[in-house]
Amino acid sequence: MGRVTVRRKTTRLASGERTSRIDTLVVEEPLELRVAGDSLQVTMRTPGDDFDLAAGFLLSEGVITKPADIVSMRYCAGVDADGEQTYNLLDIALAANVAPPIKAAKRNFTVTSACGVCGKDSLEDVRTKAIWDLSEDATTVDPEVLADLPARLRKSQKIFDKTGGLHAAALFTADGELLTAKEDVGRHNAVDKVVGWALQQGRLPLRGTVLAVSGRASFELVQKAVMAGIPVLASVSAPSSLAADLADESGLTLAGFVRGDTMNLYTHDGRVA
């Protein structure tokens, strides 16, 4: 597997003093996803949990709904200038009864680590029909449990401690039990890794869970939570207007600015009891 951090010489300026030091940077590399040899997407990501990332991406796009929809995933041949395997090309074989991704869903250019929905033909293409009805999920979360999740998410960020340059997403039970946590340079990738892990563990739909994310709550993160059947999404920062609209329409509880003992509940606040 590729490296997740690299060391780089830097010059530090502080209080008028100039010193040399070695800094640790998080790795950002392209990952090309292919379905039956046909290129689907190139995303910039931090290497690691690539199979989870691919599975989560396909679920959020509405291509797959269960583990059996994926027959196999394998890295294709690819080497760097030193002749080492890059692990940057992943080919996925879908079950015979699974329709391949339609042309409208394909990214025809590189997706940056900052944006997971760039390249969509239109906003309507993003509004993938969800399989599970979140309005039927009677999950409730204690406000104190919800307020504590960002701090627990931060404690799970091992690579962030070394680099300071990563987003994270973590899945908790409604009682605050940590199920899994993932890191990536892209917010959307971190969530895909969480959702893909849950998919391959046979845990979907993720009723009775809370997804906690670093950074803001964008439309794409709400969409991924809805597609996975997650009833509550908590963010340390603000949601976008479109994220709040989708959460409201989909029955998802959206909490923003979850910091210390305060938070804003934008949609379906009855779950925070």
| Integer angstrom CA distances of residue 119 from 37, 60, 103, 187, 204 | 20, 15, 12, 17, 28
Question: What's the confidence (pLDDT) of residue 158?
Answer: 77
Catalytic residue among 25, 73, 76, 115: 115
- Residue numbers in the chain where pLDDT is lower than 70: 1-2, 78-85, 103-128, 160-161, 163, 165
Question: What's the confidence (pLDDT) of residue 159?
Answer: 73
pLDDT digit string, tens, across residues 48-85: 999 999 999 999 999 999 999 999 999 987 665 565 66
Please identify which residue in the block is written with the tokens 């080497």.
79
76 among known catalytic residues: no
Question: What's the confidence (pLDDT) of residue 130?
Answer: 85
pLDDT digit string, tens, across residues 17-49: 999 999 888 888 999 999 999 999 999 999 999
| Integer angstrom CA distances of residue 269 from 75, 150, 157, 172, 256 | 43, 18, 28, 18, 12
Question: What's the confidence (pLDDT) of residue 162?
Answer: 73
| 8-state DSSP, 110 | P
